[in-house]
Amino acid sequence: MDTGVLVVGAGPTGLLLACELALASVRTLVIDKRPKPHRESRALNLHPRSIELMDMRGLAGRFLAAGRTVPGWQFAVSLKRPLDFTALDTRHPYALLLAQARTEALLAERARELGVEIRRGHEAVALRQYAGGVETEVSGPGGPVVIRSAYVVGCDGGRSFVRQAAGIGFPGTRETMTAVVGDFAVADHAHNERARRNGVLVSRLEAGLTRYVVMDPRRIRVPSTEPVTPEEFRSSLVRVCGSDCGIGDPRWLSRFGNTTRLAARYRSGRVLLAGDAAHIHFPVGAQGLNTGLQDAMNLGWKLAATVRGWAPPGLLDTYHAERHPVGHAVTTGTRAQTLLVELPLTEQYADPARHLCELLDTLLDIEDVNRHLAGRISALDTVYPPTAPDADPLSGRRMPDIGLTTAAGPTRVHELLRDGRFVLLGLGGGQPPHTAATPASSARARGVDAQGHGDHPDLTDVSEILIRPDGHIAWATRATDPRDLHADRAGALTAWTGAC
C-alpha cells in the first residue's frame, strides 16, 4: 500500500482533512491537478463554527491574525437587516474576512508541519476499487503512476472526477441566474457605499485589490460559460449603481451561476466525497467553503479510526448519515436565499419581491428569529442524530467551549481537543473518569476531571460527557451513582472508541 488515504484536491476541504488524518498518524497523500495554488479566492470568509474548528486544533490564532472580523453576515443580499453573530453562544461571535487563497496557504502550512505530502500538477485520471483498497491512476509531470491506498477522498470540486469515477449521482437544479465577480487593482473607494446600497457586494482584499460582485438585471440570464469582459463589468456597475466605481487593472473576472446539486451518497465503498465534490450552490450566505471544512472535520477522525483498525462497526457510515442532511439543509437554504436575490431583479416580480424583503427585514428585527437564522448560517446549531433511542438530549450537539478548572490548572474545552482524541469530561468534581481500560484505549480517549461549567444552561445536572474529536457530544449522563456511571461510561466508550 503506497499510502493510507489519498486525498484528491488541495483546496481548504482536502487540506483540513489531510491535517486531521495526519494528526491521527495516518499516512496521507494529497494530489491536485493545478501546478500551483489558486491566486484568486472564490470564498472570502470563515463563519463562527469554522473558526471554532481551528481553535480546537490550536490554529485559530494564525487565522485571526491573517484576517479581519465582522460582527455578522447577510441572509440573502437583498435584505438590509444583517444576521447578528454577536448574540451566539461562542467565543468567536463573528465572521472572519479571509481570502480563500490565504486559508489554503495556512492549511497547507499546517499539513506540511504534520508530515503530509502535497503533490501539485498531479491529476487523477482513473480509479478502481478492489477488496483491500483503491488503485488510482495519476497523470503527473513525470508521467503516469498508479497510487494504491486504503481509501480515496474526493475533495476535487463541483466537477469532481472522483465522484464520477465512483458512479455517485449528483442530482439537483440547473442554472437559472448568474452574477459576475471581479478583483481590481484600481478602484475609487469613495463610491463603495453607494455601490453597496444598490446591491453590489464590495470587499477589500489583500494586496490592495477590491472585489465587486454584481447582479445586473439585464445580464442575469447570461450563461456562466460566457467569459466576462472589463467592458461588460463596467457597464453593469454603471447600470446598477450609477457609477463604474473607478475600476481598473482587473486581476480576475468570472461569472458564476446558481446550479445547486447534492451528491446522492457521500460514500461508495472505499471512496468518499467532501466539500464541493459533495455539494454546490449559489454562494449566498458564504456557506460553501465552511460546509466543506465541517465535512472534513467530521470525516477525518472516523476515517482515521477505520484505517488504523479500531473503528467500531458502522462508524464510517455515520459520515454520510450525519453530513448528508447538513448538505441538504445548506443547498435548500441557499436556494431560498437565491430566490430572494433573483426575484427583485426580475421585472415581473420586482414590486412584490420588494415588499417580501421588507417583511423579512422586520422579522429579522425579532431577536429570536435573527438568532435562529444566524445559528443556521454559522453552523453553530448543527446537531447530529443520536445513535441510541435513550440518548441524553445533548447527544449529537456541539459542545460549548466552557472554561474549566482541572488538576493541571485552568483550561477550556477546545484546548482539551488539540490532539484530536476523544475527551471524557467529568463535571462532578469527583474521581477522574476512567478511560484507560486497556493501553489502546488511552490513545483514543483521555479522562479529565474538572469543575467550572458554571451556569451554562445546557450542562445543568450533567455529570460526565464524552466529547468527539470534532467537538460534538457523543454521550452525556446525569447519573451520579458510581455503579450506573461505570456501566454507562463503559458502554459509551465501547460504542464510540472500541474501548471497554
Nearest to 5 by CA among 120, 92, 116: 116
393 domain-assigned: no
Segment (H or E) for 304 = helix 288-308
Residue 329 has pLDDT above 50, yes or no: yes
Residues 161 and 202 grouped into a single domain: no
In this structure, are 218 and 345 located in the same domain?
A: no
Q: Residue 338: name the closest of 224, 260, 226 by CA.
A: 260
Q: What is the model's pLDDT at position 485?
A: 85
d(CA 427, CA 450): 5
In a domain, 88, yes or no: yes
Quote the pLDDT of residue 205: 87
* Overall number of domains in the chain: 3
Q: In the structure, what pLDDT confidence band is assigned to residue 500 with cuts at 50, 70 and 90?
A: low
Q: Which of 257, 292, 322 represents a domain boundary (last residue)?
A: 257
Amino acid 364 reads L
Query: What confidence score (pLDDT) does residue 435 get?
Result: 46
Domain-ending residue, one of 257, 277, 297: 257
Which of 257, 277, 305 finishes a domain?
257
Q: Does residue 391 lie within any of the structural domains? A: no
The residue with cell 484600481 is 186
pLDDT band with cut points at 50, 70 and 90 for residue 431: very low
pLDDT at 82: 93
**428 band by pLDDT with thresholds 50, 70 and 90:** confident
The mean per-residue pLDDT over the stretch 308-321 comes to 96
Query: What does the block give as the cell for 438?
Result: 486497556
Q: How do residues 436-481 score in pLDDT, each as one tens digit?
A: 433 344 689 989 988 876 678 889 889 999 999 999 999 999 988 8
Q: Can you give the CATH number for the domain in which 323 is found?
A: 3.50.50.60
- What is the rounded CA–CA span in Å between residue 245 and residue 237? 7
Q: What is the residue range of 224's domain?
A: 178-257
90 and 148 co-located in one domain: yes
pLDDT at 489 over 70: yes
Distance, in Å, from the CA atom of 365 to the CA atom of 384, rounded to the nearest integer, reads 29
Tell me whether residue 384 is exposed, middle or buried, using C-beta atoms within 10 angstroms of its C-beta: 0 to 12, 13 to 18, 19 or more: buried
- HSE-CB of 430 using CA atoms within 13 angstroms: 12
Q: Is residue 182 over pLDDT 80? A: yes
Domain co-membership, 107 together with 201: no
User: What is the percent of the chain where pLDDT is above 90?
Assistant: 81
Query: Beta 95-97 vs 117-120: how paired, if at all?
Result: unpaired
Within a domain: 389: no
| Domain match, 123 and 94 both | yes
Regarding predicted confidence, which is higher, 20 or 79?
20
Residue 454: inside a domain, yes or no? yes
Residues 132, 281 within the same domain: yes
481, part of any domain: yes
Strands 210-214 and 178-186 turn out to be: antiparallel
Distances (CA, A) of 312 to 40, 303, 324: 42, 11, 21
Task: Say if residue 120 is in the same domain as residue 268.
Answer: yes
270 and 251 in a single domain? The answer is no
- Is residue 90 located within the same domain as residue 131? yes
pLDDT score, position 437: 38
CATH of the domain at 189: 3.30.70.2450
Distance in angstroms (rounded) separating the CA atoms of residues 368 and 362 = 12
pLDDT above 80 for 150: yes
Handedness of CA 84, 291, 444, 58 (dihedral sign): negative
The stretch 381-403 carries a mean pLDDT of 93
What is the chain's mean pLDDT, rounded?
92
What share of the chain has pLDDT > 70, as a percent? 96
Torsion sign over Cα 288, 289, 294, 296: positive
The whole-number pLDDT of residue 441 equals 45
Mean pLDDT over residues 486-490, rounded? 88
288-308 vs 318-342: helix axis angle to the nearest 10?
170
pLDDT band at residue 237 using 50, 70 and 90 as cut-offs: very high
Residue 350 maps to a domain: yes
Q: Return the amino acid letter for 176.
A: T
Q: Per-residue pLDDT averaged across 251-265, rounded?
A: 96
Rounded to an integer, what distance in angstroms lies between the CA atom of residue 84 and that of residue 420?
A: 31
Q: Does the pLDDT at position 421 exceed 80? A: yes
Q: Is residue 90 part of a domain?
A: yes
Q: In terms of domains, do 331 and 445 share one?
A: no
* CATH number of the CATH domain containing 437: 3.40.30.120
Of 434, 403, 428, 427, the residue nearest 416 (C-alpha):
403
Alpha helices in 365-448 (DSSP H): 367-378, 413-416, 439-442
Asked if residues 248 and 223 have their Cβ atoms less than 8 Å apart, the reply is no
Note whether 440 and 358 are same-domain residues.
no
Tens of pLDDT, residues 26-65: 999 999 999 999 887 888 899 999 999 999 999 999 999 9
What integer pLDDT is reported at residue 499 of this predicted model? 66
Provide the pLDDT for residue 33: 97
Say yes or no: 265 and 128 in one domain.
yes
Quote the pLDDT of residue 318: 97
Q: How far is CA 22 from CA 18, 102, 231, 419, in A?
A: 6, 21, 47, 11
Residue entry with cell 466605481: 245
